[in-house]
């Protein structure tokens, strides 16, 4: 199983990765980080190279938006992507990745079944069916320039009441290499949230995904809060559950102190539980 992490600074702040690997007592095989249309005009090969030099594979979550604004951004509506407004930018990235020439995972427009990003069909004036068209449009540009060193990661959020059904968002097996599911144990860190075990968070979504496709599965973002329960016990159960889920081929721990402290270092007990779980040689 591919073992990965997302750190706040990604390849631009590798000291964070050093600390994580020291605390986890293991080197990661995957570093996940975020790049957006508005603030990253070109593919950063130096960042990807710095990840490769550490023996890890880069996974870029590529976001069509300006992250300093909200979900209503007409410039990045799906119809604009479909119509070719951003083609020059997309083609520049595709050529940069092709020239780099090494394996890279690209997670385009993640959590599209929610309503908090401008590429979601539930917001920004988008319409049903447009996400698939936008995804295929971007994918075709990469294929047209010969950027075949990309593995495409289609990555919904775990389903919830009112989320957009996944079947109408899946671009098709010709356009997807991995399916990555994002899910968190929010505990009591947010109003209306409660402590949830792994199975309750992920199993309904994993079952729905497996009705759509048999592409390899990863947990593209996963973490737990300390608030509302025992985080160390949650982590221990997480690793025990992964052993019973051979269809999950990779996971990325979201090691950020953001909405709550998701990091393995939020407590010594959480860190020790994570290090104990990931010591299994199957994680690499």
Q: What is the pLDDT of residue 197?
A: 97
Model confidence, pTM: 0.97
CA–CA separation, 176 and 218 (whole Å)? 13
* Chain segment 70-88, per-residue pLDDT in tens: 999 999 999 999 999 999 9
CA–CA separation, 183 and 210 (whole Å)? 16
The mean pLDDT value for 182-192 works out to 97
- Token pair 């092709």 is at which residue? 98
* Chain segment 49-64, per-residue pLDDT in tens: 999 999 999 999 999 9
Q: What is the pLDDT of residue 75?
A: 98
Q: What is the pLDDT of residue 233?
A: 98
CA–CA separation, 78 and 186 (whole Å)? 30
Tokens found for residue 181 = 């599911």
The mean pLDDT value for 113-119 works out to 98
Tokens found for residue 70 = 């909200």
Nearest residue to 39 via CA among 14, 15, 63: 63
Q: What residues form DSSP beta bridges with 261? A: 257
Domains contained in the chain, CATH given? 2-278 (3.20.20.80)
* Chain segment 195-236, per-residue pLDDT in tens: 999 999 999 999 999 999 999 999 999 999 999 999 999 999
Q: What is the pLDDT of residue 93?
A: 98
Q: Taking a C-beta distance cutoff of 8 angstroms, is the pair 55, 27 a contact?
A: yes
């Amino acid at each position: 199983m591919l073992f990965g992490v997302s750190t706040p600074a990604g390849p631009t702040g590798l000291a964070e990765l050093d600390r994580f690997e020291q605390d986890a007592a293991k080197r990661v095989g995957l570093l996940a980080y975020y790049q957006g249309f508005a603030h990253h005009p070109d593919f950063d090969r130096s960042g990807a190279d710095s990840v490769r030099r550490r023996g890890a594979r880069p996974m870029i979550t590529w976001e069509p938006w300006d992250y300093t604004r909200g979900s209503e951004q007409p410039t990045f509506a799906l119809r604009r992507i479909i119509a070719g407004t951003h083609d020059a930018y997309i083609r520049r990235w595709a050529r940069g990745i092709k020239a780099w020439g090494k394996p890279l995972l690209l997670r385009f427009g993640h959590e599209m079944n929610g309503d908090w990003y401008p590429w979601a069909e539930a917001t920004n004036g988008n319409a049903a069916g447009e996400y698939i068209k936008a995804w295929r449009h971007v994918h075709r540009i990469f294929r047209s320039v010969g950027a075949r060193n990309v593995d495409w990661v289609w990555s919904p959020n775990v389903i919830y009441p009112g989320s957009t059904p996944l079947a109408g968002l899946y671009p098709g097996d010709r356009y997807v290499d991995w399916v990555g599911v994002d899910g968190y144990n929010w505990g009591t860190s947010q109003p209306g949230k409660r402590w949830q075990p792994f199975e309750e968070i992920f199993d309904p979504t994993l079952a729905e995904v497996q009705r759509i496709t048999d592409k390899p599965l990863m947990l593209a973002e996963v973490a737990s809060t300390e608030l509302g329960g025992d985080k160390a016990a949650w982590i221990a159960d997480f690793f025990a559950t992964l052993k019973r889920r051979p269809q999950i081929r990779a996971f990325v721990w979201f090691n950020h102190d953001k909405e709550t402290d998701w990091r393995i270092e939020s407590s010594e007990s959480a860190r020790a539980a994570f290090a104990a779980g990931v010591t299994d040689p199957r994680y690499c």
